[in-house]
Amino acid sequence: MSTGKTALPGFNAQQRPTDRLLFAVLPEQPAVARIEQLTRALRREHDLRGAAVHAEQLHITLTILGEYWGVPLDLLAAAAGAASQIAQPAFRVRFDYVQTFRNKSRTTGNYPVVLCGDEGLIGLETLHQDLTGRLRNLGFKGISASFTPHVTMLYVPEPVPSHAVAAVEWTVCEFMLLHRHIGLHLPYTILGRWPLRKVSWLPQ
């Protein structure tokens, strides 16, 4: 099964796709509030003028399925089938430093400033590996094997130096299939959600 730009009858092949589909993890509300607090602090400390990511758009991308004109229902069904096979237990995540990615945003031309972590993101790496492996087994093409777990906080004209921050932590209990209208500042539409297996030993 191929992914990426899919032409539909009546559309010019040179037009930019309108819809993006991705699997992602959304932060819990207390973590969202903490990320917004960190973003405001970064703005003050570094005199940043770039655009912040809206609270309802904060997420961790697990894998992007592609960009399309419209939402292909057959692809959604296959992706849901892969997601339903995941049996990973819930896990904690810990983000504890900020860095700037060097790939500029296609929309703004600015650098993304992101929240990252090290050992505290192993559960995300395991989930990404399991999910992308199942998607490839079902015939999905173009699924990236590379993965740097992060939350994009804002976009700025000049890079911000990497530095440690007070940790943002939460328990990941589910992952989701999201739909984004490309170029529009709208909340993601949740097309599907899959709970992770409950465990009793997770620290709070």
- Residue 3 pLDDT exceeds 70: no
Q: Which of 149, 181, 189, 175 is nearest to 23 (CA)?
A: 175
Share of the chain above pLDDT 70, in %: 90
Rounded-to-integer distance, Cα 59 and Cα 177, Å: 11
**Greater confidence, 202 or 34?**
34
**Two structure tokens written together for 98:** 């900020």
Domain boundaries, the chain: 19-195
What's the average model confidence in pLDDT over 25-30?
97
Task: Please state, in angstroms and rounded to a whole number, the distance separating the CA atoms of residues 50 and 161.
Answer: 15
The DSSP H or E segment spanning 22 is strand 19-25
Per the listing, tokens 């959604």 go with 76
Q: Are 98 and 162 in contact (CB under 8 A)?
A: yes
CB atoms within 10 A of CB 33: 13
pLDDT reported for residue 104: 78
Element (H, E) at 77: helix 73-83
The CATH-assigned architecture of domain 19-195 is Alpha-Beta Complex (3.90)
Lowest mean pLDDT among 14-23, 56-65, 88-97: 14-23
Burial 126-149 (b: 16+ CB within 10 A, else e): ebbebbbebbeeeebeebeeebeb
Q: What is the pLDDT of residues 89-138, one digit of tens each?
A: 999 999 999 999 998 777 678 999 999 999 899 999 999 999 999 999 99
